[in-house]
Structure 1
Amino acid sequence: MSTGSEREPERPVSTPPSGQRVWQTDMLTDLFQDPLDGGYTDAARARRERGPLASSTRRTRRGFTVVVCVVIGVLLAVAYLQVIARAPARATTRVELIKDINRRTADTDKLDQRAESLQDEVNGLRERELSDTAISQLRELEAATGVRKVTGDGVVVTLSDGPNASSERLARILDLDLQLVTNALWAAGAEAISVNGRRLTSVTPIRTAGSAILIGNAHIIGPYEVAAIGPSDLADDFNDSATADTYRKLRDDKRLELGFDVDEKDDLELPAAVMPRLQFAHVPQPSPSPSGTPTPSTSPSGGGK
């Protein structure tokens, strides 16, 4: 057995016809005796011959690093100064926008009150010209369609965002939530419904515009109060609905904790809705044929009036 300093004897691999023996190095023995690739040895030899890295090169690299750090620092300082300089302008703009929103909201409320006053005046003038029977029928129709103020006993359902609404979307009240609650109240027998004082009619949409909830064209904010007037068992029927059960579970969910409360109320007063703009369909008139005979209309029979 050979030691680490001794080399294994070479072994003959073939005997040529001339009688001489040809010897070949054992590959495994050579691998264990010289495990380092020759390229590493050549690189080390070249480094010894070239000597250590020149001090001028080191200074150049160090100087380049310093320049890069200085440039980055200057850029960060300029960006910070620009942010600080623009902060007062942004704050001023925000304050002005808030003032403008409040001013326009106040103007809208005044216009709503003016429209309600004019509507009451129109109702009074109209009833002056009608008989008692016609007035009674008219009032019932207006109350049912939402264009007349109504009072009565009912229920108020209050919805509000959960404490994690800023980070958890499911903890926010959306237009869909108000739609589900109002539909459940209609199904439970509600005769009139308002959301945050905005009366619902058959043509009043509950929708989202950006992050705001709109009732018709009016922007509302939470907490959201859905008031409904109806029969004496309205609250019980609503509480037994699947919608109420769902929102009770969302209220009890520790991750969401949506606000949900149902209260029975006496003598609720729901305002009249602004008179909606009604749309009417018209039957198209038959167009004359070249011979002068009117061509029958192609619209189906029983069209709109």
Structure 2
Amino acid sequence: MSGDPDRELLQQVSTPPSGQRVWQTDMLTDLFQDPLDGGYTDAARARRERGPLPPATRWTRRGFTVIACVLIGVLLTVAYQQVIARAPARATTRTELIKDIQRRTAETDKLDQNAENLQDEVNRLREQALDDTAIGRLRELEAATGVRKVTGDGVVVTLTDGPNAGTERLARVLDYDLQQVTNALWAAGAEAISVNGRRLTSVTPIRTAGSAILIGNAHIIGPYEVAAIGPSNMADRFNDSAAAENFRNLRDDKRFEVGFEVDEKDDLELPAAVMPRLQFARVPQPSPSGSPAPSTSPSGGGK
């Protein structure tokens, strides 16, 4: 080994299979002692040999640099001015769109109210033409199918997005969650259900369109209130369901903290669903026995 103590740190001993001792350089220590690449030394040597650049060359390079900086400044200025010039137009367009949305929403609400009033008038005229037995049977069928307003005691299940809804998908209330709750309520004995005031029928879909949740064709936003009218033990049966257990776990999990509440309510009032749209109808023909033949009128309501 070398007698120089500084060089002792630059070597290590390895014993190859032949038994000969080979001295190897410690690359990390060598890197610290000579950190510059050889190319920098060669470039510095070439610059010393060549000498300083001629003044004309130096001024030429400076001129190109100044021109490039000026061009970049001009481009940035033009881009900034275009952005500023278009800002008022964008703001005006956004304001007009908001006004248009508000106007159309008001028109839709007015049409919905008119449709409800006309439906009430149709029901009144229809009941005037029927006897008490037929009226009672008709009301039962309309309540069961969701096309008549109903009142009674029941349960309200409230779902809300968790605080991490922006990053955690399971912290958001999805259409599948509302489907789980409504199916569990039907199984617990619910006779009528509405979601955020939208009555469900046998053909009312709960689905998503982009990031929005739709009940039929109506867009709803949280908090999501699922109201159900049914027997007195409906709340207990729902709380014992797998769906309720799943939402309790999501509520207690610190990663999600989805809001989940089950409250028993008295005198709930659920609105009537939108009347189904008639697609096919058949005029009943008198049967040979003199009694009217049954008629069928399948509909695509809620689609």
CA–CA separation in structure 1 for the residues paired with 2:80 and 2:169: 33
User: Aligned with 1:213: secondary structure?
Assistant: strand
Aligned residue in 2 for 1:266? 266
What does 1:20-59 align with in structure 2 at a 5 Å threshold?
A: 50-59=50-59
Q: Which moved more, 1:93-102 or 1:257-266?
A: 93-102
Aligned residue in 1 for 2:114? 114
The amino acid that maps onto 1:186 is W
User: Aligned with 1:148: secondary structure?
Assistant: coil
Q: Show CA shifts across 1:248-303 (max 9, x none).
A: 22222323222221111000000011111144499xxxxxxxxxxxxxxxxxxxxx
What does 1:255-294 align with in structure 2 at a 5 Å threshold?
A: 255-280=255-280
- The answer to whether the aligner puts 1:143 opposite 2:143 as a matched pair is yes
- The alpha-carbon deviation at position 118 of structure 1 amounts to 1.2
User: Aligned with 1:103: secondary structure?
Assistant: helix
User: Aligned with 1:269: secondary structure?
Assistant: strand
- The answer to whether the aligner puts 1:89 opposite 2:82 as a matched pair is no
> How many percent identity over aligned positions?
84
Q: Which moved more, 1:269-278 or 1:71-80?
A: 71-80
Q: Show CA shifts across 1:148-187 (max 9, x none).
A: 0100111111122223333443332222222221112112
The amino acid that maps onto 2:241 is S
Structure 1 residue ranges without an equivalent (≥5): 1-38, 283-303
Aligned residue in 1 for 2:161? 161
After superposition, the Cα gap between the structure-2 partners of 1:139 and 1:41, relative to the gap in structure 1 and judged at 3 Å, is: closer
Q: Which moved more, 1:107-116 or 1:68-77?
A: 68-77
- The answer to whether the aligner puts 1:197 opposite 2:197 as a matched pair is yes
CA–CA separation in structure 1 for the residues paired with 2:43 and 2:247: 75
Instruction: Return the index of the structure with the highest Cα Rg.
Output: 1
Q: Which moved more, 1:139-148 or 1:250-259?
A: 250-259
Aligned residue in 2 for 1:228? 228
The amino acid that maps onto 2:261 is D
Aligned residue in 2 for 1:62? 62
In the alignment of these two chains, the number of paired residues is 246
After superposition, the Cα gap between the structure-2 partners of 1:88 and 1:202, relative to the gap in structure 1 and judged at 3 Å, is: same
Q: Which moved more, 1:216-225 or 1:67-76?
A: 67-76
Q: Answer yes or no: is the 8 Å Cα contact 1:154–1:266 preserved in 2.
A: yes
After superposition, the Cα gap between the structure-2 partners of 1:259 and 1:92, relative to the gap in structure 1 and judged at 3 Å, is: farther
CA–CA separation in structure 2 for the residues paired with 1:45 and 1:269: 93
Q: Show CA shifts across 1:205-250 (max 9, x none).
A: 1222233222112222221111111111111111111111222222
Q: Answer yes or no: is the 8 Å Cα contact 1:203–1:276 preserved in 2.
A: no
